[in-house]
Amino acid sequence: MGKAVAYFLVVVIGVGAETICRDQRWFRDSRYCLIDEQMPWQNGFTICSDMGGGLAIPDSMEEQQFIWEMFTDTISTEDVWIGCIFKNDQWVYPGEGGQVCQYTNWAPNEPIQNDGCVHLWRSHAGEWNDLPCSWSQFVICEIPTVPPVTPRMSCMQAHAYMYVRLPTHCLTGHVIKEFPVKGAIACGSACRDEPRCRSFQLRRRSPGEIICQLNDINRYQAHEKDIKLDSACDYFNMTV
């Protein structure tokens, strides 16, 4: 019988180590991460998707107030994007299959031009306003505390897994096994074969020595204090 071959696609997060939450808070079943950079709506949508969530979208007055207070407590000027966009003559959130944005909090006389994307407007105490999606605003990502389980893909004897790499960071307090390896593929194979493994990291302890550490949770399930900046460590999160 032929030996199964494992293929690994490692994706480096495009914004690298800078994609770290300037502020991070929890509301109900989600974690909210304020990205310390202004960007077009689509860029924010992509970054939030890469983190396992989407652009924050208020579903109630309580959530609206939570998001606005989080933003204004941290950023003293400018505005922040939320997840609603104008599509097919209605305001929808594309991350939910085009579902209509049920809760709204438009400023007086808004929306006027149906410009495309929605932000929380500082000059109107966080009420909604529409802007061209190409404008740059701050971004808050909304990430489920426990992300949905994604089935592992397989094709005959070949198994495909995707890992997202977060350079110079380590998940602490959740290592279940560690051992020397030659590189990421060997460590990823070990994670694949360990039923409890949800993520892994490569730690460089001395020149030429790489230690594979298997974790029993991933970074989306971890508390922010467990994610440490570490120049000698690279973290890998399994996404598929």
Q: Which of 109, 144, 179 is the last residue of a domain?
A: 144
Whether residue 203 is contained in a domain is answered as: yes
Residue of 6, 60, 53, 1 whose CA lies nearest to 30? 53
Are the C-beta atoms of 232 and 201 separated by less than 8 Å? Answer: no
Measured CA to CA, the distance from residue 181 to residue 72 in angstroms comes to 46
Question: With the C-alpha atoms ordered 219, 26, 42, 80, is the resulting torsion angle positive or negative?
Answer: negative
For residues 36 and 68, state if they share a domain.
Answer: yes
Distance from chain centroid for Cα 115:
26
Whether residue 51 is contained in a domain is answered as: yes
Whether residue 35 is contained in a domain is answered as: yes
Residue of 165, 146, 148 whose CA lies nearest to 19? 165
1: CB partners within 8 A, 6+ apart: none
Torsion of CA 18, 19, 20, 23, to 10 degrees: 120
For residues 104 and 180, state if they share a domain.
Answer: no
For residues 100 and 173, state if they share a domain.
Answer: no
Range of the domain at 126: 30-144
Measured CA to CA, the distance from residue 137 to residue 217 in angstroms comes to 32
Whether residue 24 is contained in a domain is answered as: no
**CATH code where residue 45 lies:** 3.10.100.10
Number of domains the chain contains: 2
Measured CA to CA, the distance from residue 198 to residue 165 in angstroms comes to 13
Whether residue 198 is contained in a domain is answered as: yes
Whether residue 20 is contained in a domain is answered as: no
- Output the tens digit of pLDDT for each of the chain's 240 residues: 343 444 444 443 333 333 467 888 888 878 899 987 899 998 888 888 878 888 999 989 999 999 999 999 988 889 999 988 887 777 877 765 667 888 888 888 888 776 689 999 998 888 999 999 899 999 999 988 754 433 333 222 224 456 677 777 889 999 999 999 988 888 888 998 999 998 999 998 877 789 999 999 988 788 878 888 887 888 887 755
pTM beyond 0.85: the answer is: no
Could you write out the DSSP letters of every residue in 38-62?
A: EE-HHHHHHHHHHTTSEE----SHH
Could you write out the DSSP letters of every residue in 200-238?
A: EEEEEEETTEEEEEEESS-TTTS-GGGEEE-TTEEEEEE
For residues 180 and 130, state if they share a domain.
Answer: no
